[in-house]
């Protein structure tokens, strides 16, 4: 019997009891096996449906639920490449390299697990910043503590392979099935650690707690990096995947005349609601149904004086501190795999560009200084600790400090403050207009139970390290910028895909096919 592909439109009850639904309605008769191919939850118009694609066929005929996407690892060729950063881009670049017999030397300024967990908990729960900022630096990169959302609008062979590798190392077939897959910050570290173990088994070497201070350049090509201790880590090329908070490294690269350019990004705040409110608004009568989980929302308004959009929505999640350096405060969202927190949050941000910091000149580092100014103001407004400045969303629109604040998920604590006194006036005007429009689309969004928490500044890196068609820097051959930090991706999956492609380009550049 040939494998049959079936497309179904199911209610939450039918999807929750999927096996029973398939058998009782003889969609898949007894004796046949089935595999999920795609699941999309459609919550438009408060009428929840599950759009399900599955394959059915004789037992043993269906492809495995979790195929192994790893390629055979070639014997080491005595060649090595330095990889800066152990986030998704750096780790996937390293996988590409070991598959081609090239030994990666992975340099990461943050900590491995479990040390990184201890450092991040100290900041996230107690507001104590120790060593390199653990929420943005360390094994797995900044995305480790931000829900583990794997959705991307990009489609390519590298995206498909990146998702396959993430599913394999996480032993989680749902990553390949769900339209909006996520791992959860409680499960993502184990996935990342399995990648580390795989790389080390195949000859890769990790250098943790190691800050890169510059590039080694010999005979007109990059051959390694210098580190804070003054030592050198050498290779035949350098993959640059440092994440978007590697500010001192960007400054060092600029001094070495690595070609880079400013690029637009966005700033704003985290808006947190009671989860029950968002679930009710988005899911209607299906709110609370076990098949539906915590509800998502998104909006984007490009026809305002500047674009305003929601970003990195964490249903059933938490707001967390993610300062990229001491005495600065930025916030982000996080959720576990169950998304069971009583709160839901998302960034609400407005676009900014070099026109917003003309006093900083045309330096590609201008966006970083712009971020720093806002983060230092947020730090001071929170009281000089990692308490976050916050106000009720209704008070934000009115431009007044809240007399009281609702319960919130942010553990270090909130300090009543006027965010309109921290963010630039054009950004404030755009955010207010966007929130009013969001309330017309998501009824009840503008609520005094919603709290605006500041600030969200790390939506993406404010610069791009330039690269040519071969993937390497036009000013520094042998330097291969990739991932979110270098300005070439946004999010875990697109960064991982860019890392895979980058590893292939490095091998080609070295003459290894």
386 neighbors 321 (Cβ within 8 angstroms) = yes
| Residue 387 tokens, joined | 């308490």
* Length in residues, the chain: 513
At a CB cut-off of 8 Å and minimum separation 6, what does 279 contact? Answer: 287, 288, 292, 294, 295, 344
Contact present, 289 and 304 (Cβ < 8 Å) = no
CB atoms under 10 Å from CB of 4, counted, come to: 12
> Strand 232-234 vs strand 221-227: parallel, antiparallel, or unpaired?
antiparallel
Parallel, antiparallel, or unpaired for β 79-84 and 238-240?
A: parallel
CA 93 from centroid of its chain's CA atoms? 17
Q: How many other C-beta atoms are found inside a 10 Å radius of the C-beta of residue 425?
A: 8
pLDDT of residue 60: 87
Nearest to 245 by CA among 137, 352, 143, 166: 137
As a dihedral over the C-alpha atoms of residue 413, residue 447, residue 334, residue 327, rounded to 10 degrees, the angle is -40
With beta carbons less than 8 A apart as the criterion, state whether 422 and 378 touch.
yes
Q: How far apart are CA 367 and CA 261, in angstroms?
A: 10
Is it true that the peptide bond before 114 is cis, omega within 30 degrees of 0? yes
Alpha helices in 216-270 (DSSP H): 247-255
CA pair distance 329, 268, nearest whole angstrom? 13
Q: Integer distance in angstroms from the first to the last C-alpha of the chain?
A: 40
Q: Interhelix angle for 492-509 vs 88-99, to 10°?
A: 40
Q: Report d(CA 171, CA 167) in Å as an integer.
A: 6
- Domains along the chain with CATH numbers: 4-57 (3.30.1660), 79-261+463-509 (3.50.50.60), 264-456 (no CATH)
Digitized pLDDT (tens) for each residue of the chain, 513 residues in all? 689 999 999 999 999 999 999 999 999 999 899 999 999 999 887 789 999 999 999 988 999 999 999 999 998 889 999 999 999 999 999 999 999 999 999 999 999 999 999 999 999 988 888 877 889 999 999 999 988 899 888 889 999 999 999 999 999 999 999 999 999 999 999 999 999 999 999 999 999 999 999 999 999 999 999 999 999 999 999 999 999 889 999 999 999 999 999 999 999 999 999 999 999 999 999 999 999 999 999 999 999 999 999 999 999 999 999 999 999 999 999 999 999 999 999 999 999 999 999 988 889 999 999 999 999 999 999 998 899 999 999 999 999 999 999 999 999 999 999 999 999 999 999 999 999 999 999 999 999 999 999 999 999 999 999 999 999 999 999 999 999 999 999 999 999 999 999 999 999 999 998
The predicted pLDDT at position 1 comes to 64
Tokens 């999920």 sit on residue:
36
Which residue in 353, 269, 257, 261 sits closest to 305, CA to CA? 353
DSSP assignment string, 433-449: HHHHHHHHHSTT-S-TT
Helix, coil or strand: residue 45: helix
d(CA 93, CA 199): 11
Rounded Cα distance, 442 and 284, in Å: 12
How far lies 81's CA from each of 71, 192, 219, 311, in Å?
A: 19, 21, 17, 35
Q: Name 185's Cβ contacts closer than 8 Å, sequence gap at least 6.
A: 144, 145, 146, 147, 148, 334, 335, 336
Token pair of 86 as six digits: 């152990």
Q: What is the pLDDT of residue 244?
A: 87
- The per-residue pLDDT for 402 is 98
CB atoms within 10 A of CB 71: 12
Residues 6+ apart with CB under 8 A from 446: 393, 394, 397, 435, 436, 438, 439
Phi then psi dihedrals of residue 16, to 5 deg: -60, -35
Among residues 36, 55, 46, the alpha carbon closest in space to that of 12 is found at: 46
What is the distance between the alpha carbons of residues 360 and 415, in angstroms, rounded to a whole number? 30
* Cα distance between residue 105 and residue 207, in whole Å: 7
Placement of tokens 């026109």 in the chain: 355
Going by the DSSP 8-state scheme, the letter that residue 149 receives in this structure is: B
Peptide bond into 274 cis (omega under 30): no
Residue 465 CB neighbours (<10 A)? 27
Report d(CA 373, CA 457) in Å as an integer: 10
């Amino acid at each position: 019997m040939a494998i049959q592909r079936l497309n179904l439109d199911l209610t939450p009850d039918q999807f929750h009891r999927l096996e029973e639904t398939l058998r009782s309605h003889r969609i898949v008769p007894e004796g046949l096996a089935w595999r999920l191919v795609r699941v999309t939850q459609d919550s438009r118009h408060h009428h929840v449906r599950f759009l399900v694609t599955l394959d059915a066929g004789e037992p043993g005929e269906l492809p495995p639920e979790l195929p192994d996407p790893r390629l055979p690892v070639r014997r080491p060729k005595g060649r090595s490449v330095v990889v800066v950063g152990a986030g998704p881009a750096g780790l996937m670049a390293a996988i590409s390299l070991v598959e081609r017999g090239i030994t990666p030397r992975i340099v990461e300024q943050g900590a491995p697990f479990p040390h990184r967990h201890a450092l991040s908990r100290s900041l996230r729960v107690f507001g104590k910043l120790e060593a390199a900022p653990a929420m943005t630096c360390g094994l797995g990169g900044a995305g480790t503590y931000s829900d583990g959302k794997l959705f991307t609008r990009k489609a390519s062979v590298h995206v498909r392979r990146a998702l396959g590798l993430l599913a394999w190392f996480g032993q989680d077939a749902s990553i390949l099935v769900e339209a909006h897959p996520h791992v959860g910050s409680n499960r993502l570290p184990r996935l990342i650690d399995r990648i580390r173990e795989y790389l080390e088994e195949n000859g890769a070497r990790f250098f943790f707690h190691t800050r890169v201070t510059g590039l080694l350049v010999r005979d007109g090509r990059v051959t390694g990096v210098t580190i804070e201790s003054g030592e050198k880590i050498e290779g035949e090329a350098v993959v640059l995947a440092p994440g978007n908070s590697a500010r001192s490294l960007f400054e060092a690269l600029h001094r070495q005349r690595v070609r880079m350019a400013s690029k637009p990004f966005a700033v704003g705040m985290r808006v947190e609601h009671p989860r029950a409110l968002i679930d009710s608004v988005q899911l209607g009568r299906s709110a609370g149904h076990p098949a539906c989980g915590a509800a998502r929302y998104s909006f984007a308004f490009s026809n305002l004086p500047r674009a305003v959009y929601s970003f990195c929505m964490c249903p059933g999640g938490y707001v967390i501190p993610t300062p990229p350096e001491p005495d600065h405060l930025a916030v982000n969202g996080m959720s576990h795999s169950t998304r069971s927190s009583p709160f839901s949050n998302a960034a609400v941000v407005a676009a900014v560009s070099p026109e917003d910091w003309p006093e900083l000149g045309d330096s590609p580092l201008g966006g970083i200084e712009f971020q720093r100014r806002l983060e230092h103001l947020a730090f001071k407004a929170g009281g000089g600790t990692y308490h976050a400045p916050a106000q009720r969303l209704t008070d934000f629109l009115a431009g007044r400090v809240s007399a009281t604040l609702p319960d919130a998920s942010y553990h270090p604590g909130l300090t009543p403050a006027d965010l309109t006194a921290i963010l630039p006036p054009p950004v404030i005007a755009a955010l207010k207009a966007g929130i009013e429009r969001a309330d017309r689309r998501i009824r009840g969004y503008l609520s005094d139970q919603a709290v605006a928490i500041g600030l969200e500044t790390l939506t993406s890196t404010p610069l791009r390290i330039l690269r040519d068609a071969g993937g390497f820097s036009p000013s520094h051959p042998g330097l291969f910028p990739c991932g979110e930090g270098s300005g070439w991706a946004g999010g875990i999956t697109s960064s991982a895909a860019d890392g895979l492609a980058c590893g292939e380009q490095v091998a080609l550049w070295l003459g290894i096919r």
